[in-house]
Amino acid sequence: MISEPQNIVSRYVQRRVLLFSLLLLALLFVITAALARTYHAREEGLVSEWFQKGNTDLADGKPGQAFEDFRNSLSYGPENTNVQLRLAEALLADGRLTEARSYLVNLWDRAPGSGEVNLDLAHVSMQTGDVDQTIRCFRGAILGSWEKEPALQRRKVRLELCEFLLAHRQNSEAEAEVAGLAADTPSENGVLREENGRLFLRVGEPGKALTEFEAALQINPRQSQWLADAGQVAFEDGDYLKAETYFSKADRESPSDEIHASLMLVRNVLGNDPFLAGLNDEEQARRSWRDFEQGLDRLRKCTGTRADNSSSGQSASDMQLLNKEAQDLQKRVKLGFLVKNPEMRNEAMQLVLRIEGATSQICGPATGMDEALTLIEKRHEGNNP
């Protein structure tokens, strides 16, 4: 039992000790804070040091070593998402998909809207062959947030997604992505417009591709490559007039054999197509006559070659039949008669087109004027000119 005076003294001592403890606590706080600050600085230094090393190793194509570096870095900054992401990428590059995926899923849980994480997850899924998941992750990356140059990053992802979709023959999906890409492309960027055009071509949309090329050419009308691209698209789309315009401009800006050959071909088509709109009967007859002569020449040459090469029985009988038809028609066809008789023009051209088709199969692809005739055939295929 403690008496009252003793109790008072005891309490006084307790207060003193408590006060002293608080002072000691404050001192210890200062010391601990200083220690912790130094420690954190050292930790951050190590995180950065190993991170740099990892990046260098990854860039040097040493993902295994990079992985070790990033792991070291992560041991000093376990919450550093940049390091985690790079570590996952190193694992991915090293083919350790399960481990990479585990890290990425963890990152995704924390930041499901991260473009980078979604993109890496797409790469993992791509390598594991999960097409649906890959597409989902790519789309997550497109819609996700990007710290640096978000528009450019999203475009890159979309391009990658397009490539992936095309590789998996999902053309309609790819077309939708390219359309999205085109919609997001700044109108003043000709390079990107041209890139869009090429993609539209790959997804089988030449009309939209041409629109993109033309948009690009509005920004820089003398860009020879874009002119050639536009010409090519117009050519493939059967719009030879446009193709001739673009090829001739391209040929002027930056002459090359390839462009010149394309230009000549287009000009041959335009100069020899008897069914071109706006031609009078005489011109149509003249063209038909010229084409007929060219067709007979091709047939003769091919028949001679065939005789040398002794083709198969079926081809031989076709050629004989064609030869016979050509000889019959040759007896009847005269330029003047063609002017007056559109039916005869059609008949002559039909035969020419059949000759070009048959000889292409037997004697190899047509060139020069014959190639132009083949294109004329394709252009009016199914039509009754």
Partner 1 sequence: MSDWDTPVEETQVLAPKGEPLPVGENDSGLKWLSSRARRLTLSEGNLFLLLAIIIGMFSGMAVVCFRISIEWVRLGLLGSALAPSHLRVLLVPAAAGLVVAFLVQKFFRASRGSGVNQTKAAVYVFDGYVPFRTVIGKFLTCSLAIGSGQSLGPEDPSLQMGAGIASALGRRLKLSRDKLRLLAPVGAAAGLAAAFNAPISAVLFVIEEVIGTWSASALGAIVLAAVSAAVVMRSFLGGEPMFRVPAYTLAHPAELLAYAVLGVVSGVLSLAFTKIIAYFRPKLRALPEWTYYFQPAAAGLLIGLIGLQIPQTMGTGYPYIDQALHSQYTWEILAVLGFAKILTTSLSFVSGTPGGMFAPVLFIGAMIGGAIGGLEHHFFPQVSASVAPFALVGMGTFFAGFLRVPITSVFMVVETSGSYSIVLPVMISNTIAYLISREFQDVALFDLLAKQDGLELPSMEEQREQIVLRVEDAMRKPDLPPLQASDTLARALEIAESSTEELLLVRFPTGRWAGIARNDLPTMASAYPPETLLREALSTARLPILHPDQRLDDALRFIQGHPLLPVVGRAGSRKLEGVLSLPDILTAYQRAS
Binding site for partner 1 (CB under 8 A): 2-3, 5-6, 8-18, 20-22, 24-25, 28-29, 31-33, 35-36, 39, 42, 46, 49-50, 68, 71-72, 74-76, 78-79, 91, 96, 98-99, 101-103, 105-106, 109
Region of residue 20 (left: phi > 0; alpha: psi -120 to 50; beta: else): alpha
Per-residue buried b or exposed e for 157-183, using 16+ beta carbons within 10 Å of the residue's own CB: bbbbbbebbbeeebeebbbebbbebbe
d(CA 14, CA 20): 10
**What single DSSP character describes residue 277?**
T
Greatest alpha-carbon span in the chain: 147
d(CA 240, CA 211): 16
CB of 122 to partner 1, least distance (A): 18
d(CA 71, CA 53): 11
d(CA 103, CA 14): 53
Beta bridge partners of 114: 145
CB of 32 to partner 1, least distance (A): 4
In the complex with partner 1, the residue whose CB is nearer, 30 or 151, is 30
d(CA 36, CA 30): 10
In the complex with partner 1, the residue whose CB is nearer, 20 or 281, is 20
In the complex with partner 1, the residue whose CB is nearer, 26 or 241, is 26
In the complex with partner 1, the residue whose CB is nearer, 35 or 143, is 35
Which 3 state secondary structure label does DSSP give 230? helix
CB of 25 to partner 1, least distance (A): 6
CB of 33 to partner 1, least distance (A): 7
In the complex with partner 1, the residue whose CB is nearer, 6 or 187, is 6
In the complex with partner 1, the residue whose CB is nearer, 77 or 295, is 77
CB of 44 to partner 1, least distance (A): 12
d(CA 41, CA 30): 16
In the complex with partner 1, the residue whose CB is nearer, 3 or 280, is 3
CB of 133 to partner 1, least distance (A): 15
CA distances (Å), origin 19, targets 14, 30, 32? 8, 17, 20
In the complex with partner 1, the residue whose CB is nearer, 31 or 167, is 31
In the complex with partner 1, the residue whose CB is nearer, 53 or 139, is 53
Q: Note whether 211 and 194 are within 8 A (CB).
A: no
CB of 18 to partner 1, least distance (A): 7
CB of 37 to partner 1, least distance (A): 9
| Token output for 125 | 């899924």
Half-sphere exposure of 170 (CA within 13 A, CB side): 14
d(CA 158, CA 181): 7
CB of 142 to partner 1, least distance (A): 23
Looking up tokens 């149509």 gives 284
Q: Tell me which amino acid residue 378 is.
A: K
Angle between helices 171-184 and 190-202 (to 10 degrees): 170
